[in-house]
Amino acid sequence: MILILFGPPAAGKGTQAARLKEAHKVAHLSTGDMLRAAIAQGTEVGKRAKAIMDKGELVPDDIVVGIIGDRIKEPDCRNGFILDGFPRTVNQARALDDLLKGRKLAVDVVVVIEVDEAALIKRVENRANEARAKGQPVRPDDDPETFKKRLAVYRAETAPVLPYYDAQGKTRRVDGMKSIDEVTAQIEAVLKAVKPRKGWFG
Ligand code: AMP
């Protein structure tokens, strides 16, 4: 099963992906995590991405498509994988389809985690306060103004990806305002209903 977890920043994609990975033993591919790792390692990609990410803008499509193209060839992706934070533009969605077609694969389902913008802003404020209270670093892009910029980028560049998958009948919406457990249960119900290929996601 190739599952895309779709939704605005701080919708809970990473949290849900980690749970699904554990429950179904599939790979979790987060372009945000991969870019942060590249920055930490000081790679060329990391150097190109850092200033863009700190501003809350999108890293160029060629960079993230390159990262995903390499990553899906890894053996742990053989049983399917969860994409978290990718694709974020219509161009990326098209490039993903091409990458998968080359391997005789396709996106199975796009789970859209819906959360009100006001709730997202509150979540990120809480996340930053909790990190500060523990003496941990706050993500530079969780600064309130930068976060609002990320929401604006989501509305302008990422939300238009939804009609692309709607047209293919692949989107399923879940209520991301519910508790973490309830959101997981909604996603599991979606997975059951899409009847994955035998052996993929159980
Ligand atoms: P995330 O951890 O998914 O919230 O991503 C953090 C930041 O990484 C984003 O605000 C972007 O700057 C960058 N990023 C992550 N995924 C992508 C992507 N698919 N396309 C472009 N930029 C991305």
Tens digits of residue pLDDT in 126-159:
999 999 999 998 888 999 999 999 999 999 999 9
The pLDDT score that the predictor gives to residue 195 is 72
The pLDDT score that the predictor gives to residue 67 is 97
The pLDDT score that the predictor gives to residue 139 is 86
What is the pLDDT of the chain when averaged over all its residues? Answer: 94
The pLDDT score that the predictor gives to residue 199 is 52
The pLDDT score that the predictor gives to residue 52 is 97
The pLDDT score that the predictor gives to residue 79 is 82
Domain count within the chain = 1
Strand partners, 174: 113
Q: How many CB atoms lie within 10 A of CB 122?
A: 12
Side by side, the strands of the sheet bearing 109-114 are 27-30, 81-84, 2-6, 109-114, 171-175
Q: Which of 88, 138, 145 to mutate to test the pocket of ligand 1 (most atoms within 8 A of CB)?
A: 88
Q: Is residue 200 part of a domain?
A: no
Report the separation in Å between the CA atom of 30 and the middle of ligand 1, taken as the mean of its atom positions: 9
CATH of the domain at 20: 3.40.50.300
- What is the span of the domain harbouring residue 17? 2-193
Cβ-Cβ contacts under 8 Å for 142 (sequence gap 6 or more): 124, 127, 128
Report the separation in Å between the CA atom of 53 and the middle of ligand 1, taken as the mean of its atom positions: 7
Which atom from ligand 1 is nearest to the alpha carbon of 68? 19
The pLDDT score that the predictor gives to residue 200 is 58
Residues of the chain with pLDDT under 50: none
